[in-house]
Amino acid sequence: MAESNRKQAEIPASAEMINNPVGTACGFAIQLNRCLMFFTPGVPSEFKVMVEQEILPRLRQRFTLPDPPVCLRMTTFGRSESELAQSLNPLTLPPGVVMGYRSSMPIIELKLTGPANQRDAMLALWPEVRKVAGDSLIFEGTEGLPAQIARCLQERQLSLTLSEQFTSGLLALQLSRAGAPLLASEVVPAQEETLAQAARWAAERRINHFAGGSGGERSGKRSS
């Protein structure tokens, strides 16, 4: 055993070892007066597994844990946090329920969080939150926009042809990971062009795709 790994196995004599099924460094638990303390490696992926498989079961044996809180989420685009908050403040929230905001302009996530026993009241209030969001609402839940787009395209039996300049292929990457039906995609240098030119190129790519052609690769600017 390497000396570095041997050092990882050193824990206090009175401690209980906490198994780490996905790493070499174990954790440990120790009781200090009325406080039960858990120590884990700092790697997030290892910490998460140890919490789920080792720490939470021990806590459930000792304590009666409350039901996990309910969190309803929606993501909006284009409106400021202050504007949304001003419109949502008049709503009467059930006891113990709070409205939260996570801002990364122009994206704002709205979160209605509360105890499990307020689930029905929260669901009854949620349409009012949706009404305030209005046309700025882009999706609900944690599915994410790429997955929402992929699902909508699949439901309507549609597909996409992408040409990216400023996003450097990130749009195609996120959509392909979400399983979106992409016919073709490319990354081109930033250049001036009209919307009509871009639409003409997209139409050519689709025609070439269905005809079994090469896909219409180009060099330089798109022809007008």
How does residue 196 score in pLDDT terms, banded at 50, 70 and 90? confident
CATH number of 70-142: 3.30.70.2860
**Residue 120 pLDDT greater than 80, yes or no:** yes
Q: How far is CA 84 from the centre of its chain?
A: 21
Per-residue pLDDT tens digits for 2-57: 777 788 888 999 999 999 999 989 999 999 999 999 999 989 999 999 999 999 99
Helix, strand or coil for residue 56?
helix
Q: What is the pTM of this model?
A: 0.58
Q: Which residue has the higher pLDDT, 165 or 193?
A: 165
**Residue 142 pLDDT greater than 90, yes or no:** no
Residue in this structure with the two tokens 């996003």, named with its chain if needed: 167
Nearest alpha carbon to residue 142 among 74, 45, 96, 213: 74
- Give the pair of three-digit tokens for residue 74: 């929606």
Can you say whether the dihedral through the CA atoms of 172, 174, 176, 179 is positive or negative?
Answer: negative
For residues 148 and 139, the answer to whether their CB atoms sit within 8 Å is yes
**Residue 223 pLDDT greater than 50, yes or no:** no
How does residue 145 score in pLDDT terms, banded at 50, 70 and 90? confident
State the span(s) of the chain assigned CATH 3.30.70.2860.
70-142
**Residue 224 pLDDT greater than 50, yes or no:** no
Q: For residue 212, what pLDDT is reported?
A: 64
Per-residue pLDDT tens digits for 79-116: 999 999 999 999 999 999 999 999 887 899 999 999 99
To the nearest whole number, what is the mean pLDDT of the chain? Answer: 87
- In what helix (H) or strand (E) does residue 131 lie, and over which residues does it extend? helix 119-133
204 to each of 8, 29, 115, 199, how far by Cα in Å? Answer: 61, 64, 55, 9
